[in-house]
Structure 1
Amino acid sequence: MNDVSKSNVKVRFAPSPTGNLHIGSVRAALFNWLFARHHKGTFLVRIEDTDLERSKQEFADSIISSLEWLGMQSDEPIIYQSNFTEKYRAYVEKLLSEGKAYKCYCSPEELEQRLGEGEKYDQRCRACSMPGDKPFVVRFRLPDDREVVTFHDLILGDITTPISQLDDFIIARSDGSPVYNFVVVIDDATMNITHVIRGQEHINNTPKQILLYEALGFSIPQFAHIPLILGKSGAKLSKRDAATSVLVYKEEGYLPEALINYLARLGWSHGDQEIFTIEELVRDFSLDGVGKSNATFDMEKLRWVNSEHIKKKTSAWLLNYVVQELDNHFLNKLDAWSSEQIVALIDLYKERVMTVRELYDALIALYNKPAVYNHEAVQQWINEDAKINLSLLIELLKNLTEWHEASLESTIKQFVKNREIKLASIAQPIRIALTGNITSPGIFHLLTILGKKESFSRIEALIK
């Protein structure tokens, strides 16, 4: 592979705890995790909480829980940047003492008045000295003998930035706190990160960070900037396009492996294959397959991928997942049914649903009996003839000694033949009686699982 050196791979996912884990950040975490697993390397999680005003522990906990749900735990203890303030300050002092950084006493108001809004810094304080009691920021001194910064991106290829496009950028604020571009270099270097895999929105940071690596004498990692995820409009993904928080997908009944499958294929290709197990993704993933163009989030495609993963699960596994992840009281809500009945019903419904939440809702609705019947279905299928046929069928079925799918199917089909009616004219009323609607699994399956007593009770309720 051309995307990995001979050294042991070590990557990191470094979210800021200023909100719940965003779907775009999940894909960045996933590509790091898959890359590490593919190369038998190390995946680390670092919480970048140096912005003390916006960072909250509740968001850090939420991010960590989301990663655990997805199965992407850190291979080493999670690192919080806020615990290393003194280390960062020591490196600031190192650059100051070596003349690679300097104190800038220009206030934001002075800069705006002198340079105008958004203009590059004019290096005025490179050679000035001020009293120690005046507030200052620390700026990195761009090397005078450097014209360009060039690096090879493992996805985008060679990228060159002229030094003239940069200015002496700030590495420490006036309160002494270090800025993002500085601390991320210190952390990646001291954590021995070999590959920095992140979104393309960070490309403009990379030249500055490379200059800092060089100034501090650190080895420079390899960089890979993955394309962004956009909404259908072509703009940045928003809540109108899809839920942006991972926790919402969990609550709505998406399986973690399905979300991982979909996000992995969002910008990464491997032939025509669409459905992957986690093991297959780990085996096949390579940065060579990551495209350069932005990807478009397609909610319907995600729903389809999720449905395919649901179908592959055993019904016992799905039952356990519902209890563990969606509703701890699920079995109590179905207490009149045996576990065998519930598993059998999951067998029926898992082929028809797109999410585990839909499966959950379907079973709860079936258990609670139809409170109301679909009006259009009743108008189309329920009349006096239908009620007479249902009554006669109940009397016939009462004599069945074995209540199972084969005997029910044989008896009902013979009944239809004897009455000289179409199967649908009795099957659809039965379906309405059992579920309240005309869309459901097959009636022979439903009658078998619900049992004779419950089936009769529901059919008789419809007749009345």
Structure 2
Amino acid sequence: MVQVSGQNVRPIRVRFAPSPTGFLHIGGLRVALFNWLFARQQGGVYLLRIEDTDLERSKREYVDSILEAFAWVDIISEEPVAYQTQRFVLYKTYIDRLLDSGKVYWSDPVDEENGQSVIRFRLPKERRQISFNDLIHGPITFDTDQLGGDFVVARSDGTPLYNFVAVVDDTEMRISHVIRGEDHIPNTPKQILLYEALGAAVPEFAHLPLILGPSGEKLSKRDAATSVVEYRAAGFLPDALCNYLVRLGWAHGDQEIFTRDEMKKFFSLDNVNKSGAIFDMAKLRWMNGVYIRQRSAESLANSIHEQVDPDFLKKCSSAPYVWSAAQVSHALELYKERVATLVELRDLVIALHTLPSLLPPPGEVLWNAKSGALLGNFVEHLGRLEELTVGTVERVLKSVCIEHEIPLPVLAKPLRYALTGQVNSPSVYALVVLLGYDEVVRRINHLRSIVE
């Protein structure tokens, strides 16, 4: 019996090894994050390896996208990124060594479906067990009878396959812990046999639970966007996304919000669940909103520019209504309390900057026969102020209401609609200060021209 359990006393070295046959997906980012956090918590080294041996499907654009995604979330390999396509000579050396020892062999082409000989690993003649202690799932045992016979390690042209190159790379990179998705559990016994055949140290294994859809099935695009670039473009902040992903299958008490330093301090494979984690878009949106509200207006403007809309500031300073940098910041501060993504924040701020395309207000709740005169009276009082502040605007609005013996909403609601074209908005006092006297007058007159 081959048994692997608790044998590592070597330096902690982990890796994430995506295939550039598509964009980095959300599950892959979580695996990378767990590897990175484990390395940070253990004082180890995190590495990135690009498994690009599938020459037909691997594309440079996907490699670039993967690297860009990791730069965005600040999960960076601590050594130069390894590329499998640059290591074919190394793989051939290992293959030749195993061929010479008889541990792998060229098959008889008659036995192959396509009639072409391949290189197969020679399983032990006698049935045996292969056991390892998974750091998440506990002891796992396979019989060699379960492996489907001598398995292929290289194609007819000598191109090595996944299980073989993964073992060679992890050996050469001195990987101490292989932390990956639980869908790789069936690969583990074959890889352990390959480590043994090469006389290499076998790493510890930890297989993470998968991310599941709302109904408990494998996550699909119907349930959530699956690529990291989609979340970036949709206006999710990198720290919020990582915070959400670390809580998918891992917990530290009841704490939900973690700084990066807290993640590094508290993360442990001991607290990773064995069962799959349900993806909840509503919770991700909530968490992203928390992170947005913690950010300064300047930081949010930069993130909108970089992630969502490179012309955001240009749009806010376009004629005929040119906002100052202070007005942009003021608008971001007002609306960040009401959004879950940077896209929503961008849209609300741009909408406020633009003169609303107004329809006649719906019903007397927003507009009645006296509304035009009340707004005119409000403008008259507003023009007498030496300085527009939230306090002075509030006093003017309330004084007009007292003068006309009306409840505050009777004036505040049509004013809000005139300024924003919406029935809900941030503080109407703050909006008046932000827009300024001239723009407030223009928008009120615009609404009155439509209604009256």
What TM-score do the two structures reach when normalised by structure 1?
Answer: 0.92
Matched, 1:141 2:144: no
- What's 2:267 paired with? 285
- What's 2:402 paired with? 417
- What's 2:345 paired with? 359
- What's 1:151 paired with? 132
Matched, 1:223 2:205: yes
Which deviates the most, 168-177 or 315-324?
Answer: 315-324
Task: State the shift of 1:6 in Å.
Answer: 4.5
Q: Is the 8 A contact 2:209 2:274 kept in 1?
A: yes
SS in structure 2 at match of 1:384: coil
- What's 1:7 paired with? 10
Flag the 1:267–1:403 CA change in 2: closer, same or farther, 3 A: same
Matched, 1:235 2:220: no
- What's 2:143 paired with? 162
SS in structure 1 at match of 2:87: helix
Flag the 1:162–1:436 CA change in 2: closer, same or farther, 3 A: same
Distance in 2 (alpha carbons) for counterparts of 1:297 and 1:391: 52
Matched, 1:301 2:286: no
After superposition, the C-alpha distances for 1:19-47 in whole angstroms (9 at most, x for unaligned) are 00111111111100111111221111100
Task: State the shift of 1:381 in Å.
Answer: 0.8
Matched, 1:380 2:365: yes
Give the letter aligned to residue 357 of structure 1.
Answer: V
- What's 2:390 paired with? 405
After superposition, the C-alpha distances for 1:296-329 in whole angstroms (9 at most, x for unaligned) are 1000010001001111111121112222332222
SS in structure 2 at match of 1:239: coil
For residue 66 of structure 1, the aligned residue among 66, 69, 76 is 69
Q: Is the 8 A contact 1:373 1:437 kept in 2?
A: no
Distance in 1 (alpha carbons) for counterparts of 2:439 and 2:11: 62
Indicate the percent of aligned positions where both proteins have the same amino acid: 50
Flag the 1:9–1:374 CA change in 2: closer, same or farther, 3 A: farther
Q: Is the 8 A contact 2:106 2:119 kept in 1?
A: yes
Q: Is the 8 A contact 1:373 1:432 kept in 2?
A: no
Distance in 1 (alpha carbons) for counterparts of 2:361 and 2:387: 34
- What's 2:53 paired with? 50
> Which residues of 2 match residues 320-339 of structure 1 at below 5 A?
320-335=302-317, 336-339=322-325
Distance in 2 (alpha carbons) for counterparts of 1:21 and 1:338: 38
For residue 454 of structure 1, the aligned residue among 436, 439, 444 is 439
For residue 30 of structure 2, the aligned residue among 27, 31, 45 is 27
Matched, 1:103 2:84: no
After superposition, the C-alpha distances for 1:148-180 in whole angstroms (9 at most, x for unaligned) are 000010000000001111211000001210000
> Which residues of 2 match residues 151-230 of structure 1 at below 5 A?
151-166=132-147, 167-230=149-212
- What's 2:230 paired with? 248
Q: Is the 8 A contact 2:365 2:410 kept in 1?
A: no
Distance in 2 (alpha carbons) for counterparts of 1:5 and 1:173: 33
Flag the 1:228–1:3 CA change in 2: closer, same or farther, 3 A: farther
What TM-score do the two structures reach when normalised by structure 2?
Answer: 0.94
For residue 86 of structure 1, the aligned residue among 71, 85, 89 is 89
Matched, 1:39 2:42: yes
For residue 426 of structure 2, the aligned residue among 432, 438, 441 is 441
Task: State the shift of 1:402 in Å.
Answer: 1.7
Which deviates the most, 185-194 or 161-170?
Answer: 161-170
